Amino acid sequence: MVLVIAVSLNLDFTSQRVSKVAVLDENNQVVSTVKARELSGQSDLLFRRNSETGTIECKTNKAAIALNEMLHAHN
């Protein structure tokens, strides 16, 4: 069971303290472990903390939405 707590992850992208993040594939298998700052600025990523291990995990956010260009053309 994985509990998603995006707000309280407190990832450290900029300071000297380094947060390690396990990057998951579509089958929730760890592909690599990287520093959080390596993922900074990338779009469509979902960060979560594994409630059993405490590991910070990252995977592609399949629920990411795209804006409808016609609806937002006036902006």
Whether 48 and 5 have beta carbons less than 8 Å apart is answered as: yes
Return the pLDDT at 14.
53
Higher pLDDT among residues 73 and 3, named by residue: 73
- 13 in Cβ contact with 37 (< 8 Å): yes
Contact 32, 39 (CB under 8 A): no
Confidence of residue 8 (pLDDT cuts 50, 70, 90): very low
Higher pLDDT: 52 or 2? It is: 52
Domain ranges of the chain: 20-60
Diameter of the chain measured on Cα atoms: 47
Q: Collapsing DSSP states into helix, strand and coil, what is residue 12?
A: coil
Q: In this structure, are strands 20-24 and 56-60 parallel, antiparallel, or unpaired?
A: parallel
List, for residues 9-42, the tens digit of each pLDDT value: 555 555 566 789 999 999 999 999 999 889 988 8
> Distance (Å, rounded) from C-alpha 27 to C-alpha 10?
25
